[in-house]
Structure 1
Amino acid sequence: MTPEPESARTNKSAEQLRSEVRRCLGRAKGLPLLWRLRALALFGLAYLKLGPPGRRKPPKSLLAGVLLVTAALAVSPAVWNRLRFDRCLIEQPSMARQLFRPAEDCSVCEGVRRIEKLSSVDPWLFEERYAYSGRPVVVSDATANWTAAGAFSFDFLRELYRGGRAAECQFFPYRTGFRSLEDFFNMSASRALLRTGSEPWYVGWSNCDEAIGDVLRRHYDRPYFLPATAETEKTDWIFMGSPGYGAPMHVDDVEYPSWQAQIRGRKKWILEPPRECHYSCDRLEVVVEPGEIIVLDTNKWYHQTLIVSEDVSITIGAEYD
Structure 2
Amino acid sequence: MVGRRRRGSNSESGLRSLPFDRKLAYFDGEFNRLRRERRLPESPSDQLRVLEPLLRCGARRPPGPSTFRLAAGVLLLLLPTCLLLHSGPAARFLSFCGRALLIQLLPYWDWTLYSNTQDCLIRNPYYTARGLESLQPADCINVCQKYPAVESLQKVDPKVVLQKYLRQNLPLVITDGTEEWAALREFTVPFLTRLFNGHSMLQNTIVCSYWDSHNSLEKSPSAFLEKIHDQRLAHWAIQWKNCNKAAAKVIRGFYQRPYFLPPVVELAESNWLLMASQAENRTPVDMFVKVGDHDGDLLMWIAQLQGVFEVQLLPKDICANNCTHYTLELSPGEIVAVPLQMWEVQYRPLSSTAIGLAATGNWLQDSR
Conserved? CA contact 2:302–2:335, under 8 Å = yes
Residues 135-146 of structure 1 mapped to structure 2, 5 A cutoff: 135-146=170-181
Q: Which has the higher helix share?
A: 2
Distance of 1:229 and 1:104 partners within structure 2: 20
Question: What displacement does 1:189 show?
Answer: 5.9
* Structure 1 equivalent of residue 229 of structure 2: 192
Distance of 1:236 and 1:166 partners within structure 2: 17
Distance of 1:141 and 1:134 partners within structure 2: 21
Question: What is the TM-score with the length of structure 1 in the denominator?
Answer: 0.59
* Structure 2 equivalent of residue 304 of structure 1: 346
- Stretches of structure 1 that go unaligned for 5 or more consecutive residues are 1-85, 87-101
Conserved? CA contact 2:193–2:229, under 8 Å = no
Residues 192, 224 of structure 1: CA spacing in aligned structure 2 closer, same or farther, 3 A cutoff? same
* 1:169 aligned residue (188, 207, 225): 207
* 1:316 aligned residue (330, 333, 357): 357
- Stretches of structure 2 that go unaligned for 5 or more consecutive residues are 1-117, 119-132, 279-283, 363-368
Distance of 1:267 and 1:194 partners within structure 2: 21
Question: What displacement does 1:309 show?
Answer: 1.5
Question: What displacement does 1:216 show?
Answer: 2.1
SS of aligned partner of 1:178: coil
* Structure 1 equivalent of residue 136 of structure 2: 105
SS of aligned partner of 1:155: helix
Question: What displacement does 1:319 show?
Answer: 1.2
Q: Percent identity?
A: 24
Residues 166, 301 of structure 1: CA spacing in aligned structure 2 closer, same or farther, 3 A cutoff? farther
Conserved? CA contact 1:165–1:209, under 8 Å = no
Residues 203, 132 of structure 1: CA spacing in aligned structure 2 closer, same or farther, 3 A cutoff? farther
Distance of 1:115 and 1:129 partners within structure 2: 13
1:3-50 C-alpha deviation (Å, 9 max, x unpaired): xxxxxxxxxxxxxxxxxxxxxxxxxxxxxxxxxxxxxxxxxxxxxxxx
* Structure 2 equivalent of residue 279 of structure 1: 321
1:215-246 C-alpha deviation (Å, 9 max, x unpaired): 32232110001112222111111111112346
Residues 220-239 of structure 1 mapped to structure 2, 5 A cutoff: 220-239=255-274
Question: What is the TM-score with the length of structure 2 in the denominator?
Answer: 0.52
SS of aligned partner of 1:186: helix
Letter in 2 for 1:105: Q
Distance of 2:267 and 2:225 partners within structure 1: 35
SS of aligned partner of 1:279: coil
Aligned length: 217
Distance of 2:338 and 2:213 partners within structure 1: 24
Residues 190, 249 of structure 1: CA spacing in aligned structure 2 closer, same or farther, 3 A cutoff? closer
Distance of 1:155 and 1:209 partners within structure 2: 23
Residues 129, 206 of structure 1: CA spacing in aligned structure 2 closer, same or farther, 3 A cutoff? same
Residues 1-321 of structure 1 mapped to structure 2, 5 A cutoff: 104-106=135-137, 107-108=139-140, 109-111=143-145, 112-162=147-197, 165=203, 167-182=205-220, 184-187=221-224, 191-192=228-229, 198-243=233-278, 244-245=284-285, 247-248=288-289, 253-256=294-297, 257-310=299-352, 312-321=353-362
RMSD over aligned Cα, in angstroms? 2.8
